[in-house]
Structure 1
Amino acid sequence: MVIVTSNSVTPFRIDIPDSALEDLKDRLRRVRLAGRETTPDSSQGVQRERLQELLDYWASGYDWRKLERQLNELGQFRTTLDGLGIHFLHVRSPRPAATPLLLLHGWPGSFLEFLKTVGPLTERGFHLVIPSMPGYGFSDQPTSTGWNPDRIARAYGVLMQRLGYDSYLAQGGDWGGVVATRMGAQRPAGLRAIHVNFPEFLAAPPVGDDPTPEEKAALEQGSRFFAVHSGYHVVQRTRPQTIGYALTDSPAGQAAWIYEKFLDWTRPDALTRDEILDHISLYWFTGTGASSARLYWEYARQPLAPTELDLPVGVSVFPDELTRTPRIWAERAYHDLRYFNDDIPAGGHFAALEEPELFVEEIVAFARTVGA
């Protein structure tokens, strides 16, 4: 890995050693799985038979080098922001008047979420900057506390200035939506507007005194999520280091931890095994199980204030999202709501990965509302 210092922006290539690939296969051959679940469904977590099938394919059929070659052809870079090395894709559109667009991922996603949108977005007139969050992928792992969403947002503002962009848009879902929102509050030089497909205010929704039916439905979705699907969230915001040991030492553990989310948060067969293993492999080879989880710990230590933004905002509500945002919440949180669409035919939490064509259309439609 290239170590970047000062304000330089250095080309980066991925080259996972053969020894790391062999180590992974050896660990998968010697895996020791828990006994079979005692229910006929996935209510206790990832079912053993399904996980075993994924691990077998990871060991004998999956090709990491294919992804590596694809990424190395795109345009990867590293630079130092606030003392930390940050990895990012930078792909310029052939259109000279293209609009710079910062695309921000979450967990257990990664910059890989946007790969299928790179070609269509650049062809439609966007220069793309797609960073790996601090502690994720090929970005450095923070060695001290403080890398919370506010700090990440400030770093990304510097990144866009360093790349020479004096006017740009930011987009995000999951943690990316949180960081995009914090950028919207900070208003770094050049940021014109933000677009989110998972608003930060869902952590503390702006509920009215007499909730509408849409608000009640969203609140019920949120309650179900925390009752059924939030085990990972509690662990990562309270004990990220402890779970990190297991994720870093066991490929089966890392796979199950992430596989569960792709199964629970997408419709059946929305993603291929290779797309799922691309993400799992990225976390495994970079050893970022603990460092990525710490973002939850950092966020839990920031004051959670009501979201209010004055710059232009767009919201796309995909039908299978964990919580479907009611328009009235967006109107209360965003004082300059330029775009809101809750009539999208398909897609869920990993919208760009699941439905890249629909995701691209949402970005294009929003960009038009802000003159981009």
Structure 2
Amino acid sequence: MAVLKRNDQAKSQTSILIVDDEKVIRDLCARALMEYRVFQAGNCADAVRVYEKERTDLVLADVMMPGGDGIQLLRQIKKLDPNAAVIIMTGFADKEIILNALKEGADDFISKPLNLLQLKTVMEKALARNQLKEELATLKQLDRLKSNFLSLISHKLRTPITAISLFLQNIQRGVYDTSDALFLQNVNLINEEAAYLNRMVNDLLTFSQMMEGSSLLHVEPCDLNIIVGNVLQGSREALRKPGVTTEFSERHLPAIYLDRAKIAFALQQVIDNAYKFSGETGRVSIHIRDGEDNLTVIVADSGAGIPQEELTRVFDKFYQIDPDNTGQVRGFGLGLFYAREFVRQHGGNLDIASEAGKGTSVTITLPVQPTVSA
């Protein structure tokens, strides 16, 4: 098997946990592996504590230690992370020990006394295999997301397309009297469905553009008053709920460096949701607070609220809250995921507090001097 060579920068970011009850062995290994970030532990309990805190890229463990052997440690590490890379060191050429180690998921083993060249080769192989496993897992996850997205799109398109198709078939069959009020009512409904399809296509294009440049920020001095005001004026959900009152008052604020498009997108998702999940009457309030180091936007509504069991999932891709259990909630379930992602890229936070039947409050905090992620 070809070993993938890791460059010096990758090695300096790679962490190794050396577990051996002999301090001299740990120190010698640490000196030989100075190009890596090295952690040490003298027994299984200490090793587990270090791994829980650091989640190192590779564990190098002796098989014979007081208070628990390397095989027991291997089991515990694999429980914490089934994909963890673990190499067992043994001074015994015992086939049963080796077989047990491999059976429990050890990536490899190496015999004592250690040959440093052999040690580094075995480590490189284990790290390379782990890297390939992680890349494969990422590809599988992307494939699942793609399948879920295509399934969601087909479901979302089916209802309006079916309505338009049936209407056209009925016209073709001569079912309608074109002067009849019912016909005119159905024409209005079909126009709404066609407009919804158009909005979905536009939303898909927006998401596509956002995802293509999702890691890049184009910052400029911005006034949050203006961004919030523009989002409110353009909110389709607000227009659909004329009975919901809006509370928003501009206040004097310092300019803040933001990616205008991404923060407007995040605010749009939050504000649209506030109206979407309100009844025909109610209240949506938007308040901006000026702190010493940050600005905070609080969007609160008096709507349906979110059950506690769903709060942990609202940021999952494609997840949608359906308070009336209709299965017909419009949208793609991507808005809050990207809203939080974009706020975090500015060094800020997006938090949600809610209770079923008692409305929802979303808090977006943005630093005045943001820590911008690349």
After TM superposition, the score normalised by the length of structure 1 is 0.23
Whose RCO is larger (CA < 8 A, sep 6+)? 1
Q: Which one has the bigger strand percentage?
A: 2
After TM superposition, the score normalised by the length of structure 2 is 0.23
